[in-house]
Chain A
């Protein structure tokens, strides 16, 4: 059974239909890369999956259980928050909490939601911060860190709530080119550790190497999908070919 199953997601903003029926599934431990030109709906799709936007139509299931159905409006706030925790999201703009240190950023949610015993929260957080290579920076504030370091903290923070599926929304787009490497390295290590991930990215080469499957999103529909290397090296769809020829 796939860990994630997305069925027929539609979303419009005003008269603009951004997603026109998106369906895909994702197996546990796999990485899904989502590529496509700007305005194609990549970010909107990710935001629908993470409940930052409410899809107009469609369902989302995790481990076979429907956690979102656009036709149902009867979820309590508590249930919605519980469903939310299936996913972690790393933003393009990091969105770290500026008044908290690296350690505090990572510990905030588990502590407020009393997810683990106090001692365990500290231990887990330290492990995560080590994993992104920032154990020297635990007492620093976000404004004292480079963009790449901030994004790595954001990854540790997203992992702190132990999501089943970790999502990335163009995680390197806001970074200077020389800083993207350190972030990509962390994501690659997560993939090697069999973390289930969805990565929206413009880094085609990275998506090709990292992903098990790639979806090419164009004007709100999946124009092409398949094994990563096949889609990138040997695209079938004309639009995919045109898009990839620019890289």
Chain B
């Protein structure tokens, strides 16, 4: 029995990790684009981007999942996500990436705006291009400053993956829950907690290492 439980929990956990990694891979770069949008000199763009960020940060991720999965079907009478498991997974990925890139964008914006004007000016008087100033001077300083808040969000994401369950994506929590119906036992569901703890524990260690690596300057 224990073996059977572990096997199925592991299968669910693989999906959880997949959700986690793909969300990061999408939201980390998309967040930067949104951050630039929210700082744009072009007022209209700035207002539109900040409005979207407000909507996304101001509503529950669970609700966003439901709207993104069912919304297009209700509007266009057509399921744009495709049938079955892969369609639901695509919808989850889209919702997660949009949600997390908005949160990341605010962290990036805070980081970018915290860099002193003097760093940009020092680059300018040395004749560097705006691009060089950003990538060669500002970026690493921003990264250093955003590691702690990004760490927070990343750990939250580990647990938020469980929300995929509301549109029937088979992840860790669901894997644990199935045993309640089929075998009348609840401990497998409790056990999923161990997986989350291990995963976030490993991430905490990795983040601390990264933070240490950047501690040579301030």
Contacts and interface: CB of A to CB of B under 8 A. Distances in A.
B122 A81 contact: no
Contacts of B83: none
B111 to A, nearest CB: 14
B124 A52 contact: yes
B118 A161 contact: no
Interface residues of A, number: 29
Contact of B118 (A77, A91, A143): A91
Contact of A143 (B122, B124, B127, B217): B217
B137 interface: yes
B75 interface: no
A85 B217 contact: no
Interface in A73-91: 77, 81-82, 84-85, 87-89, 91
A198 B2 CA distance: 79
A108 B126 contact: yes
B121 interface: yes
B38 to A, nearest CB: 24
B63 interface: no
Nearest to A93: B118
B217 A142 contact: yes
Interface string A159-178: 01100000000000000000
Interface string A9-20: 000000000000
A98 interface: yes
Given A99-B140, A99-B217, A109 B121 contact: no
Interface in B175-218: 216-218
A109 B126 contact: yes
- Interface range on chain B (Cβ under 8 Å from partner): 20 to 34
Given A113-B127, A113-B128, A108 B136 contact: yes
Given A97-B137, A99-B140, A99-B141, A84 B124 contact: yes
A95 interface: yes
Given A85-B127, A91-B121, A95-B118, 15 more contacts: A51-B124, A52-B121, A77-B129, A81-B127, A82-B127, A88-B125, A89-B125, A95-B119, A99-B144, A99-B217, A108-B137, A113-B127, A141-B217, A142-B217, A157-B126
A112 interface: yes
Nearest to A47: B121
A50 interface: yes
A106 B170 CA distance: 55
A98 B141 contact: yes
A113 B125 CA distance: 13
Contacts of A95: 116, 118-119, 121-122
A97 B132 CA distance: 13
A52 B217 contact: no
B216 A161 contact: no
Interface in A87-126: 87-89, 91, 93, 95-99, 108-109, 112-113
A52 B122 CA distance: 10
Contacts of B124: 51-52, 84
B218 A98 contact: yes
A113 B126 CA distance: 9
Interface in B97-118: 116, 118
Nearest to B143: A99
Interface string A44-56: 0000001110000
A7 to B, nearest CB: 22
Contacts of B140: 99
Given A81-B129, A109-B127, A112-B128, A91 B216 contact: no
A110 to B, nearest CB: 9
Nearest to A87: B125
Contacts of B218: 98, 143
Contacts of A157: 126
Contacts of A161: 126-127
